[in-house]
Structure 1
Amino acid sequence: MGKTHRTEGDGRGEHHAPLALVNDPIFGPIVGADPQKPFVIAQLGQSLDGRIATASGESRWINGASALDHLHRLRAHVDAVVVGATTIVADDPRLTVRRVAGRQPARVVIDPTGRLAAPAQWLADDGARRIVVRGGEGPVATGAEAVAVPFAGGRLDPAAIAMALFHLGLKKILIEGGARTLSHFIDAGAVDRVHMLIAPIIIGSGVQGLSLPPISTLDKALRPTTKVHVLDDGDVLFDCDLRHQRRG
C-alpha cells in the first residue's frame, strides 16, 4: 500500500488534490469525487466465507495489520466516518486516524431512537466534530451535534443521511459499520463504492457480513466493476464501483 496523502487547501475552505492523488488506483476515486454531491464509500472486512465474527461475537484480528492500515487511510481521506449505534455499544470504537498520518474526520453515529446515553470513546473532545443522526428530538451527549432525518421503510433513510451530512459540509462519507448499517445503505442505493477486505481465513460459522433482501434470479444481482489489490500480509481488497455495473 502507498503512503497516505493529504490534500492542500487554497485558503477558502476548498481542497485541491495533486494530480498524482487523483490518479491513485485506490484512493483516486475518493480524492477526485464530484464535490457537488455526496460521495459515499462503505468498508467491510470479512473472512473467505463471508463472516465478520465468530458465533460468540469475536471479531478482532479476522483481517490483518495491512487491512487495518487501509481502514485508517480511508478515514484520513474522508470528511466523516459513520457507524450505527449497535457498533458503539458493542465495540466502543474511537473512529480516529492513528495508524497513518492524516486529518481526523467527523465522527457520526446513527442512533434512530436516542438510545445512546453512556459516555463513549467516539465522544472524545479532540477537535473533531461529533454528530448524532436520529429520527426526532431528544437529549444529545455533551459536545455532539444532532441531525434529524426522516424514516423510510421503518429505518432512517440512508440517502437522507448522506444528504444531511453533505449540507453540513461533509461531502466524502465512509460507512464503516456495522454490517447491518452497510447493508441498509447498499440496499438503498446510497453507496458509490465498496472496499471489501477479504482475509485468508475460514471461520465456518458465525456472523454474516452483508445481508440484502433475497433476489429470485441472478440477473438482479449487483455486479460492480471491481479492481483487486493484494495487501502486504495476504488480505485482498476488492474495490467495487457500485455506480458502474458489469454485464452478467
Structure 2
Amino acid sequence: MSVTPIRRVRHGDDRRVSPIFLGIAAVMAVSGWAVWHQFAANRGFAVFLFVVSGWVVSLCLHEYAHARTALHSGDISIGAKGYLTLNPLKYTHALLSVVLPVLFVIMGGIGLPGGAVFIERGRIRGRWRHSLISAAGPLTNVLFAAVLMLPFALGAADEWPLEFLAALAFLALLQVSAAILNLLPIPGLDGYGIVEPWLSYGIRRQVEPMAQFGLLAVFGLLWIPSVGMAFFDFIDTVMGWFQVPAGAADAGYRLFRFWNNQG
C-alpha cells in the first residue's frame, strides 16, 4: 500500500503577508503621496492609481476578514488555502473578488462587492458563527469607510489638498456602497449569508440556485435611474454624517476618470 506524503508547511508561512499585497499597498501609499503633493504631471492618473489600489486593498481585507473569522470558528483549512496571506490571487474566485469589482468602479463608480473565499461550512457549528463569518467582510468595509471619512468628521481635512480630499471621498464612497450592497439579504451576497443559517432547509434549497445571479441582479437594478438615484442619495446621507462635503466624491470620480480629462 502506497502512502501519499503530506506537504509540510513551516509555521507561519500560511499567515505571512503576501508580497503581492504589500506591493499593492505600496502603490496606494506612493500614489496617495503623489496626489497630496501634486507631484504627478497627470494628477488624474495618480488619483486613479490611488483609488484602484486602495479599492483592491479593501477587497483583500474584506476577504481576509471572512477567512480569519472562519478560522476562529472552526475551519482550520483556511490557512492552507492561503487566504490569511492577503494575496488576492489565492481567492477562490479571483475574477469575482478582484477583477469585476474594479471594472464596476471604472464603469460606474460603484463599490460592488466581489465573491467570497471558499469556506468549509461543515466544519463550523452554530448559526451565530455562520452569520458572523458572513458579516465580517462588509463590516471591514464599514470600518475602512469610517477611517477614510474620519478626517472630514474631525475637521482636520480643512487644510488638506483638495484633490487628495476628493480622491479620499471617492474611495470612501466605494466603501460605503460596498458595505450597503453586501449587507442586502440577496442570494450570493454576504447579507443573505447572515440570514441563511436562520432559514428553514426548504427555503435554502429553493433559493440556492439564484445565488449565482444575485450580484448581476443588483448591478442591473442600479442601472435603473430611479433606483440608482435613491441609492446614491442614501450614500450621500451616510457620508454627510461624517461631514464629507457634498460633491467631494463626484469631484474625485471625475479626477479618477483621467482619460476624460485629456486635452
Greater helix share, 1 or 2?
2
TM-score when scaled to structure 2? 0.27
Greater strand share, 1 or 2?
1
Q: Of the two structures, which has the highest relative contact order with CA contacts closer than 8 Å and spacing of 6 or more?
A: 1
TM-score when scaled to structure 1? 0.29
Query: In terms of Rg, which structure is larger?
Result: 2
